[in-house]
Structures are given as structure tokens and as C-alpha cells.
Homo-oligomer: A and B are copies of this chain.
């Protein structure tokens, strides 16, 4: 395929940012890729691995020639970064992101953006257990969904170009309202993370002699709480940015737990089995 973007700058070259860079390289979609971010060590590794072509030297030089800027750092950093880069955005530059919260962030960024620059909000549903640029691969997005949440002010051509990029990455692109996105991901992603953190905290409080109960845990508990090993700062920011939806979901979840608790209290085996079977059938449909 022909070059899609002449100069690309990726802010935050981790698993997601790095994998997108690898797609751009593998498919020859970018003239040149510059990486910037907090950790010089990560950027040097990205350069050594051939994920990026250049290590950004300051914000101005890294941004002023960029045709595409990808925000792939933690969502809590977006506002500061956008404020930092916006004086340097060239006319026609496209800014996109891979953040897992959209509503408030999209509004924040759109309000800050100068005329002549375009913003296309995105959220690729990809990831794996291991993080970091060393794990980045051009196949990460193959067969996954990438959600884009354009608003009334999103430039249609910019949207189309970002869409093409994700299609090239092998993702299925789903267009969605930012508010709908945040409600859905509060349920399927943000709630499970909060629930896994709460589960570990619950169990960690109990001890049998000198040993935490957790030392007796088997594979089920490990699977269940794997996501509780995720970055506390990142999930703090997501919870604050999508607070209303996450609070709603936690309350719905507490309600579902109370239903099970009541069935146990009333020794209602039929009800319990029904609740468990509905969940079990639904979950079996997933894999």
C-alpha cells in the first residue's frame, strides 16, 4: 500500500503504540516514525528494536512536522500532553489516541484543539498480559475490534484515514458514540478491573496463622484476579474519567451479588442454579 502518513509521531511507545508503529513499518504506511515519551530507556529500546526511526528531541521538533500523532500514553496524561503539543501542531495534522475512556477525554481534547488540526478518538480492543515495547508486534490488532468515536466536529477525511490505518492493522473498525463506548467499557472492562482489585483486597485481609489465605489459592483465583496486577495509576485515572458509568456498574454488580447471597440465605437451590446456569451458558458462548 502507498504511504498513508508522511511523518508519524507516537507518544508513548509501549505495547499498543509500539505495535501500531510495527504495523506502519510492516505495511510501508509511514514515511518516518518518531517516538516520544516519559522513559528515555523505553524509547532507546524502541529505536534499537526498529519499532521507531527516530527518538524525538523535544516536543517542538517531534510534533511540528507530524502528519499523524498517536497518543498512546496512559489516559491520565492526555490533557497535559495535548496542552504541551498543541502550539506545535501543523495545519492538517491528525491527532488520534488509543485511550480506553472516551467521553470526557474527547471533549477535553476537542476543546483544546486549534483550528486546522483534526482529532479522531480511538480505542483498539487489544492487549496481552505482557506489556512494553519489547512485546510489540504488527499482528497484535489482527482480528480485534478498534472503536472510533467521532463527534459532530470530527473531520470526515481525517476519520477515513485513521480508519484505513486500523483496517490495515487487521482490526474491524466499529464507529460508536463516545458516551455509548464509555458505558459499554465501564461494564466489560472497568468494572472487572475494580472487581478484581476488590477481590484481592477482600481475601488479603484474612490470615490462617501466619499465612494469608491467598497462599492456598488455585488456578481459579489466579485467573480471576490476573487483571488486578494492572497499573494502579492507569486504573485510578480511568475510574476518575469514567466515574459515573463505573459507579453505576459497581452498583449493578453489587445487586447481582445480593441476588446470589439472598438465594443462598433462603436455601433456594433452584434459584441459585438458575442464576449460575444463565451465567455459565452466557460465558460458554464466549470461547
List residues of chain A with CB under 8 Å of any chain B CB: 125-129, 144-145, 147, 176, 180, 183-185, 187-189, 191-206, 208, 213-214, 216-233, 235-237, 239-240, 243, 246-247, 249-261, 263-265, 267, 269, 272-273, 275-280, 282-287
Closest residue to A125 on the B side, CB-wise?
B218
* Contact A236/B269 with A220-B227, A229-B280 known, Cβ cut-off 8 Å: yes
Interface pairs A-B: 8 shortest CB-CB: A232-B276, A200-B279, A198-B256, A197-B279, A232-B277, A228-B283, A236-B273, A188-B217
* Count of identical protomers in the assembly: 2
Expressed in whole angstroms, the minimum distance between the Cβ of A41 and any Cβ of chain B is: 21
**CB contact under 8 A between A194 and B233, given known A189-B218, A223-B227:** no
Dominant secondary structure of chain A at its interface with chain B: helix
Q: Which residues of B contact A240 (CB under 8 A)?
A: 264, 267, 269, 272
Q: Which of A147, A251, A263, A279 has the most CB of B within 10 A?
A: A279
Contact present for A213 and B187 (CB under 8 Å): yes
Q: How far is the CB of A269 from chain B (nearest CB, A)?
A: 5
Docked Cα-Cα span, A89 to B71, in Å, equals: 71
- Whether the pair A282, B224 counts as a contact (CB closer than 8 A) is no
Known: A188-B217, A213-B188. A232 touches B127 (CB 8 A): no
Please tell me which one of the listed residues B252, B276, B280 contacts residue A205 in the complex, with CB atoms under 8 A apart.
Answer: B252
- Chain A to chain B contacts (Cβ below 8 Å), 22 pairs: A184-B213, A188-B221, A189-B217, A191-B199, A192-B224, A195-B195, A197-B280, A198-B257, A198-B260, A201-B275, A202-B249, A202-B252, A205-B252, A214-B282, A214-B286, A223-B227, A233-B273, A236-B276, A237-B269, A240-B267, A240-B269, A243-B265
Set of chain B residues within 8 Å of A263, measured between Cβ atoms: 239
